A = this chain, B = another copy of it.
Amino acid sequence: MDIIEEKIEQAIGILRELDADVWMLFVRETAEIADPSFAMVAPAHVVWQSAIIFSRNGERIAIAGRLDAEIFRRSGLYGEVHFYDQSIVPELRQVMARLDPRQIAINYSPSNHTADGLSHGMYLTLCEALRGTPYVDRLVSAEEIVSRLRGRKSPGEVQRVRQAIRATEEEFIAVTPLLRRGRTEKDIADFMHTRLARTDLQPAWDARSCPIVNAGPCADSGHAGPLTSKTIEHGQVVHLDFGVRKDGYCADLQRLWYVRRPGERRAPGNVQRAFDVVCKAIEAGVKALRPGVPGWQVDAVARRTIVEAGYPEYPHAFAHQLGRAAHDGGTILGPRWERYGNTPLGLIEVGNIFTPELSVQTEAGMVGLEENVLVTEHGCEFLSNPQTEIWYA
């Protein structure tokens, strides 16, 4: 079954589960400013103001400008397609009057960016369009609907994420021979981009920092891009944070290599110890990762493991979700810091895909790993082949 059809059926099921009457997307110019939910439930971009409406009774309604309406009609995904020339307001008010919903869930959320696709200007436009009707006071946040819908990967979605992970793992193998003394961080990134350009794969996030390459000690690791001024040296680690997007779905993995000094057989003790602690913390976190548990509790397990081993806390969440985006929104396995809003309080669900990740600093550079796991009824399945030993270039 087509993934859009899978997601629409899921959406209607979630409306029933939450006893929510109507979920509405209200969008325009989606190629330039896209509601992250739009591509989940719509077949192609639209230009004019459009409303996509799903009801708990299974209705699927699209209202679009004349030049966009054919996109919806041809898709066969919607039971009703309305079009307009000069203003969406009359059609929108008629559809609302007929459905007469108790609440209309719309896409805004302070915490979950993938549930926050309604712009403030479009929110004002919607309020104006419904002014004088009872419906303007029935607008509520669709945060919970979108978080569940996006978080529970359908069979087709899991399959696509698996493919992206396999493809990413192949790229790690391909780049390994290059990780030698004298290469710059930028050399590594350029090599990986050149390979991608020959395939149907895209970087899973901003190409300027995908891969993130950390060669040796790094004060400012994070989301910044690779440097031409940093060169791989003997006795250092090389750390990559990378993923590809394939058929619209992403992988997001970190891998670690050690570059041996002449005559050296293995990484020195401090690097090996850091690596072992990172593995142990990921393992402990993944063990705690089960349906029904709030996200922050899983983070706390991994965080405690690191701190008890004598390393400082990592300055981020233990895991985010993965899917259409590398940062797929919804429940996060992270600390209850203000910047995460309510996402660490969410409950883990079957079908969620998470990215357990953390790192510690050593004199040889940053030692970090990231895996991709699927939540199942009884725990977790690793979708990536977890790295359990330091790799050597």
Binding site for B on A (CB under 8 A): 28-29, 31-36, 44-49, 65-71, 73-74, 84-89, 108-125, 128, 141, 205-206, 208-209, 220-225, 315-316, 325-327, 329, 337-339, 341
Contacts and interface: CB of A to CB of B under 8 A. Distances in A.
A223 B47 contact: yes
B87 A108 contact: no
A66 B315 contact: yes
A221 B29 CA distance: 18
B109 A327 contact: no
B36 A113 contact: no
Given A34-B33, A66-B222, A110 B86 contact: no
B116 A327 contact: no
A96 B221 CA distance: 28
A44 B203 CA distance: 14
A223 B70 CA distance: 8
A128 B111 CA distance: 13
A118 B121 CA distance: 8
A contact face: mostly helix, strand, loop, or mixed = loop
B114 A32 contact: yes
A158 to B, nearest CB: 20
A47, A74, A124, A221, most chain B CB atoms within 10 A: A47
A117 B71 CA distance: 25
Given A66-B222, A85-B315, A87-B339, A33 B32 contact: no
Contact of A206 (B45, B109, B112, B338): B45
A86, A110, A128, A220, most chain B CB atoms within 10 A: A110
A86 B33 contact: no
Contacts of A115: 121
Contacts of A114: 32-33
Contacts of A326: 31
A70 B222 contact: yes
A273 B108 CA distance: 51
A108 B108 CA distance: 14
A116 B112 CA distance: 19
A180 to B, nearest CB: 26
Contact of A31 (B87, B141, B205, B225): B205
A124 B109 CA distance: 9
A319 to B, nearest CB: 14
Contacts of A125: 110, 341
A123 B65 CA distance: 28
Contacts of A47: 223, 327
A111 B125 CA distance: 9
